[in-house]
Amino acid sequence: MADFRVVDHTGLTLVALIERQLVDLGIANVSVGVVSAGIFATLGATPNAFISLFLYQISGNAELRNLPETLFPDGTRGRQPLPLELSYLITAWGVRTPGDIASDQQAAGEEARLLGAVLQALYEHAEVGRGELSDVVALPVWAPYDGLQIALQPLPIDTQYRLWDATDLGYRLSLAYRVRVASLQPTPPLPAPPVVNAEMALA
């Protein structure tokens, strides 16, 4: 079970997996990052190739909502962990000159190759073990047994068009991925204040 940083570090884990694949394939001068849709217009005119990961939905996993209660180290019990599914839209942005056909063809080819690298990276790491999770050594995000499952998600084309319509950009070929199950650990209950004085009244 991870703490409140689970969403952030799930994205960072995906970024690291893709970056590692690019290095292995000898693909240089490509940046990878988790971004919001607000930056898409800027990426459309990027001077350097970029792979964006846009987290467009966070949902609960209904199948795992009946997990047992959490048992804390002090023996107290809390709510069961919240199993999460994070949905990402992954887009490759090539460098193109507006209105130039040759430039657009070159950029389209580069984007296709980058999306191929993403497909390969996340297919080969469909099951992410604890050792590959992005973490903070001084204050770990994840529990020792945590892991992620990464799956290519069939996203209806009309849904993709709606996502792009909201950005005021034309449709761009993208990959949709669902990452599960990142379980959010409930906050341990605060200890009750000590009993200072107890009185018993006798009838």
What single string gives the DSSP state of each residue in 60-117?
E-GGGTTPPPEE-TTS-EEPPPEEEEEEEEEEEE----TT-HHHHHHHHHHHHHHHHH
3-state secondary structure 23-45: HHCCCCCEEEEEECHHHHHHHCC
Is the pLDDT at 19 greater than 80, yes or no? Answer: yes
Rounded to the nearest integer, the mean pLDDT of the chain is 87
Burial class, 78, CB count within 10 angstroms (exposed 0-12 / middle 13-18 / buried 19+): middle
Element (H, E) at 2: none
pTM, to two decimals: 0.84
pLDDT in tens, 36-50: 999 999 999 999 999
* pLDDT given at position 85: 95
* pLDDT given at position 184: 81
Cα 175 to Cα 90: distance, rounded to the nearest angstrom = 5
For tokens 């790491």, name the residue.
125
Of 87, 85, 86, 88, nearest in space to 33 by CA: 88
